[in-house]
A and B are shown apart, each in its own frame.
Chain A
Amino acid sequence: MALWRLGGFADDGFARLADADALPSDGAVIVSLGRWLSERETLTARPAPVGVAVEAGADAQAHLADLAGRPLIALAFAKFADGRAFSYARLLRDRHGFRGELRATGDVLIDEIPLMLRCGFDAFEVENGPTLAALEAGRLPGPAIHYQPASGAVAETSPGPRPWLRASAAEDRPLSRPRGPSADC
């Protein structure tokens, strides 16, 4: 598995913590939503960054607003065809003001990455071989022009007077500056 951001592949500064694992005293970690809910005080008091991994479902929707202050949220695509996390991303970015890293995990495939970017994802855990190859080749598929505004977190331009048209930035597609614990936590 590799972590990709718009600028290219990056080191993952966060360690994934299973629910049974003891909480390390330092180092950035990602915990499950369940653990976050039950150990919130301990986790918040911890000086090192704590991100939260969220599976699609009723719980996810109920707790999105709570998570907006986290440095990282990982939204899982159990199957690429399960599109709920696209809406979670829009809500996190545009309604709850989430400004941390929004990471797509699970069944992350090259043809969905442009859509994920437009919904406000800015980091991707990639396992699929052809997707890795395409990203290594610097290739993002699909039109770089769009018929509708995307998440407000995505910097796109308006290519003309028609109100909803948008264009991705020419070279690197729009993104909030890649961030990670090593950079600014």
Chain B
Amino acid sequence: MYHYDDFDQAFVDARVAQFRDQVDRRLAGDLTEEQFRPHRLMNGLYLQLHAYMLRVAIPYGTLDARQMRKLAEIARVYDRGYGHFTTRQNIQYNWPALKDTPDILAELASVEMHAIQTSGNCIRNVTADHFAGVAHDEIADPRPYAEILRQWSSLHPEFSFLPRKFKIAVNGATHDRAVIQAHDIGLQVVRNEGGEIGFAVYVGGGLGRTPFVGRKVRAFLPERDLLGYVEAILRVYNLEGRRDNKYKARIKILMHEKTLETLKGEIEAEFEARDRALLDLPPEEVARVAAFFAPPALELKKPVSDRVERRRDKDARFASFLAANVTPHKAPGHVVVTVSLKPIGAPPGDCSADQMDAVADLAEDYSHGEIRVSHEQNLILPHVALGDLPAVYDRLASVGLATPNAGQISDIIACPGLDYCALATARSIPVAERIAQKFGDGAKARAIGPLKVKISGCINACGHHHVGHIGILGLERAGEETYQITLGGSGDENAAIGQIVGPGFSYENVVEAVETIVETYMGLRADASETFLDAFRRVGLAPFKEALYERSAGSDI
């Protein structure tokens, strides 16, 4: 993984000093809250319903054991003993005191971490496939490009006061695990006919109150042109993005209002006019950064482990864990272990300091010290030898982290909702908890198969409900929480925005409605191998509508 050199370290240290000074000036009254706001936001500090919230960047979701232990220590010393992993591969602390935040940033800087640009109207933490470097279907590791973009975008003098936030995601495999088409810029690593690496470039994706799937503006952008082209997109956006209405300020709206052809033309013209010498990516620099991400030397091992097979036969729970949470590694005899942060009946993505330490220990003992955070709010041990699985599983189980539900109906993405967020219009975490309790992590959930449920507590869509196979949006109507359900959304390479199934459901009835949807799917699927999404694409909304509104008493509007 990437390691800071003297320059990188000096940069984050200087940034901590700058923020310390800004906090001092705020506390002294030299900065108004309005003037302080963009600075605290550029350092990841939000003012939430109950307190400040600090969002720490985990660039492209890769971290090591030492960094995870520091996150645990911060949770213990400065927060209430836990943290919350987010859909953008970050971690949030919900209870820091303003006066402590410079110290927290200094602690982070001591392990090569920061909170730079995790919020604010700037280029946010660049995200990537959480299976980068270990996936079978990888064209190239996306993280060197994400790191190059991270550096280039850090405190960019021209792009720190954009019309609105700006998110970039990079995917390096054929299967899109980074939801790139829901980002302002989505970069898909591709090879051209000559075998050269480049990017398919998508612009204008985004969720929120007006969801759009990103549009392809370039089928093949040569690797060399990465920064030049991204700069051209950002400049067009900075100049022309709307600033009169923050809900219409994202580049997706500019794309929508100008049309793809016009915006693409402007981007290309800006790109053509660039100073070519300045931002071209030299192959040596790509190679230098890529070297940091070279996979660890893994011993070749047998692709089958007797120890694992014996345990599988006698331990149904372990067998479920193998089926749901273990993915093949590109190195034979190794696997990628997903550590679910979705225990049944608890807030999705929360992790205690003790659990973070336990994962750090496991990473050191079994995963070459490396950990990943996925946008699905789970942790990943990327390099585990197959034969070590029973030991890893037992240690995870001892700290409540062996929930065998990765990718299943109870592996839910949910925003903090009305319980924590000042913007929310409805609860989301309790709905997620109730759905998880209803379906569990056992035989019932396994029979349903892969199913992504995503819940947002307001139209800002932090829970990504638009791209949930089942999406749930909590709204407030006449003082009551009401939940709108969408079906058929998807965040992968066939990205789609879910379709609204019909009138909303009350807090009491929303779980029953999900149950009706699931039963309808189970009844109409061709066979057990036809997933919910495939079945939905075959049959459309009609059978679900009928089940929800004609045959059942689930609807209450």
Q: Which residues of A contact B (CB under 8 A)?
A: 61, 80-84, 86-88, 90, 94-95, 109, 111-112, 114-116, 118-119, 130, 133, 141-150, 152, 159-160, 162-165
* Complex CA–CA separation, A52 to B279 (angstroms): 31
Find out whether the CB atom of A86 lies under 8 angstroms from the CB atom of B35. no
Find out whether the CB atom of B7 lies under 8 angstroms from the CB atom of A149. no
Taking CB atoms, residues of chain B closer than 8 Å to A112 are 161
Find out whether the CB atom of B21 lies under 8 angstroms from the CB atom of A141. yes
* A84-B239, A152-B275 known; A164 vs B157 contact (CB < 8 Å): no
Known: A146-B155, A146-B157, A165-B7. 5 other contacts (CB 8 A): A116-B157, A143-B14, A143-B15, A149-B278, A164-B227
Complex interface bits, B103-139 against A, C-beta within 8 A gives 1, otherwise 0: 0000000000000000001000000000000000000
Find out whether the CB atom of B155 lies under 8 angstroms from the CB atom of A86. no
Chain A residue at minimum C-beta to C-beta distance from B280: A163
* Complex CA–CA separation, A83 to B235 (angstroms): 11
Taking CB atoms, residues of chain B closer than 8 Å to A152 are 275
Complex interface bits, B271-306 against A, C-beta within 8 A gives 1, otherwise 0: 001010011001001001000000000000000000
A159 touches which of B7, B15, B38, B238 (Cβ 8 Å)? B7
Shortest distance in angstroms between B33's beta carbon and chain A's nearest beta carbon? 13
- Check: B422 CB closer than 8 A to any chain A CB: no
Taking CB atoms, residues of chain B closer than 8 Å to A86 are 157-161, 238
* Complex CA–CA separation, A84 to B158 (angstroms): 9
Q: How many A-B residue pairs have CB under 8 A?
A: 101
Find out whether the CB atom of B157 lies under 8 angstroms from the CB atom of A143. no
Taking CB atoms, residues of chain A closer than 8 Å to B18 are 141-143
* A130-B25, A141-B22, A162-B7 known; A87 vs B158 contact (CB < 8 Å): yes
* Complex CA–CA separation, A118 to B14 (angstroms): 17
* Complex CA–CA separation, A111 to B7 (angstroms): 22
Shortest distance in angstroms between B491's beta carbon and chain A's nearest beta carbon? 30
- Check: B39 CB closer than 8 A to any chain A CB: yes
Chain B residue at minimum C-beta to C-beta distance from A117: B157
Find out whether the CB atom of B7 lies under 8 angstroms from the CB atom of A83. no
B155 touches which of A94, A95, A142 (Cβ 8 Å)? A142
Q: Give the top 8 A-B pairs by smallest Cβ distance, nearest first.
A: A83-B161, A143-B14, A118-B157, A130-B30, A115-B157, A86-B158, A147-B151, A147-B154
Find out whether the CB atom of B282 lies under 8 angstroms from the CB atom of A84. no
Find out whether the CB atom of A87 lies under 8 angstroms from the CB atom of B235. yes
- The DSSP consensus for interface residues of chain B is helix
Taking CB atoms, residues of chain B closer than 8 Å to A141 are 18, 21-22
* Complex CA–CA separation, A109 to B158 (angstroms): 15
B38 touches which of A81, A130, A150 (Cβ 8 Å)? A81
Find out whether the CB atom of A80 lies under 8 angstroms from the CB atom of B158. no
Find out whether the CB atom of B151 lies under 8 angstroms from the CB atom of A83. no
Find out whether the CB atom of B155 lies under 8 angstroms from the CB atom of A147. yes
Taking CB atoms, residues of chain B closer than 8 Å to A150 are 157
* Complex CA–CA separation, A143 to B288 (angstroms): 24
Taking CB atoms, residues of chain B closer than 8 Å to A81 are 38, 121, 161
Find out whether the CB atom of A143 lies under 8 angstroms from the CB atom of B275. no
Find out whether the CB atom of B31 lies under 8 angstroms from the CB atom of A130. yes
Find out whether the CB atom of A111 lies under 8 angstroms from the CB atom of B39. yes
* Complex CA–CA separation, A73 to B274 (angstroms): 22
Find out whether the CB atom of B22 lies under 8 angstroms from the CB atom of A87. no
Find out whether the CB atom of A143 lies under 8 angstroms from the CB atom of B158. no
Taking CB atoms, residues of chain A closer than 8 Å to B154 are 147-148
Shortest distance in angstroms between B46's beta carbon and chain A's nearest beta carbon? 16
Taking CB atoms, residues of chain A closer than 8 Å to B275 are 94, 152
Taking CB atoms, residues of chain A closer than 8 Å to B80 are none
Interface residues of B in 16-44 (CB under 8 A from A): 18, 21-22, 25, 30-31, 35, 38-39
Taking CB atoms, residues of chain B closer than 8 Å to A111 are 22, 39
* Complex CA–CA separation, A148 to B238 (angstroms): 17
- Check: B10 CB closer than 8 A to any chain A CB: yes
Find out whether the CB atom of A145 lies under 8 angstroms from the CB atom of B10. yes
- Check: B256 CB closer than 8 A to any chain A CB: no
* Complex CA–CA separation, A116 to B158 (angstroms): 8
- Check: B156 CB closer than 8 A to any chain A CB: yes
Chain A residue at minimum C-beta to C-beta distance from B281: A163
Chain B residue at minimum C-beta to C-beta distance from A143: B14
* Complex CA–CA separation, A103 to B227 (angstroms): 28
- Check: B11 CB closer than 8 A to any chain A CB: yes
Task: Identify which of A94, A130, A147, A150 gathers the most chain B CB atoms within 10 Å of its CB.
Answer: A147
A83 touches which of B14, B25, B155, B160 (Cβ 8 Å)? B160
Find out whether the CB atom of B22 lies under 8 angstroms from the CB atom of A83. no
Shortest distance in angstroms between A131's beta carbon and chain B's nearest beta carbon? 9
- Check: B243 CB closer than 8 A to any chain A CB: yes
A90 touches which of B30, B35, B158, B288 (Cβ 8 Å)? B158
Chain A residue at minimum C-beta to C-beta distance from B158: A86
* Complex CA–CA separation, A141 to B7 (angstroms): 18
* Complex CA–CA separation, A133 to B158 (angstroms): 25
Shortest distance in angstroms between A21's beta carbon and chain B's nearest beta carbon? 30
Find out whether the CB atom of B279 lies under 8 angstroms from the CB atom of A164. yes
Interface residues of B in 133-184 (CB under 8 A from A): 151-163
* Complex CA–CA separation, A164 to B273 (angstroms): 19
Chain A residue at minimum C-beta to C-beta distance from B10: A145
Taking CB atoms, residues of chain B closer than 8 Å to A149 are 278-279
* Complex CA–CA separation, A61 to B266 (angstroms): 13
Chain A residue at minimum C-beta to C-beta distance from B236: A87
* Complex CA–CA separation, A27 to B318 (angstroms): 85
Find out whether the CB atom of B273 lies under 8 angstroms from the CB atom of A95. yes
Taking CB atoms, residues of chain A closer than 8 Å to B239 are 61, 84, 87-88
* A94-B275, A147-B152, A147-B154 known; A82 vs B22 contact (CB < 8 Å): no
Shortest distance in angstroms between A111's beta carbon and chain B's nearest beta carbon? 6
Shortest distance in angstroms between B370's beta carbon and chain A's nearest beta carbon? 24
